[in-house]
Amino acid sequence: MPSLDDLKKRIKSVKSTQKITKAMKMVAAAKLRKAQENAEKGRPYSQRMQNIILNLTKSINDPRNAPKLLIGSGKDQTHLCVVLTADRGLCGGFNSNICKLAKSKFKKIINAGKNLKIITVGLKGFDQIKREYGKFIIKKFSFKEKKQISYQEAEIIGKEIISLFNQNEFDICTLFYNNFKNVITQIPQAQQIIPAEIKSSDSKEENLYYEFEPEEDEILENLLPKNISTQVFKAFLENAASEQGSRMTAMDNATRNAGDLVDKLTINYNRSRQASITKELIEIISGAESL
Q: Helix (H, G, I), strand (E, B), or coil: what is residue 169?
A: coil
Rounded to a whole number, what is the largest CA-CA distance in the chain?
113
Work out the pLDDT band at 27, boundaries 50, 70, 90: very high
Cα atoms in the 13 Å half-sphere on the side-chain side of 156 = 12
Q: What is the CA radius of gyration of the chain?
A: 28
Quote the strand ranges of the chain, DSSP E: 78-84, 115-121, 137-141, 172-180, 186-194
Superfamily of domain 34-249: ATP synthase, F1 complex, gamma subunit (3.40.1380.10)
Whether 86 contacts 239, CB under 8 Å: yes
- What pLDDT was estimated at residue 276? 84
| Pairing status of strand 78-84 against strand 115-121 | parallel
Work out the pLDDT band at 287, boundaries 50, 70, 90: confident
d(CA 27, CA 90): 13
| Pairing status of strand 137-141 against strand 172-180 | unpaired
Q: Rounded mean pLDDT of the chain?
A: 88
Contacts of 109 (CB under 8 A, 6+ apart): 79, 81, 115, 116
Closest alpha carbon to 72 in 198, 169, 165, 199 = 165
Hey, where are the domains in the chain?
4-21+251-285, 34-249
Work out the pLDDT band at 208, boundaries 50, 70, 90: low
Contacts 24+ apart (CB under 8 A), 259-264: 259/18, 261/14, 262/11, 262/14, 262/15, 262/18
Whether 181 contacts 25, CB under 8 Å: no
Mean pLDDT of 243-265: 94
- Name the phi and psi angles at 119, rounded to 5: -120, 125
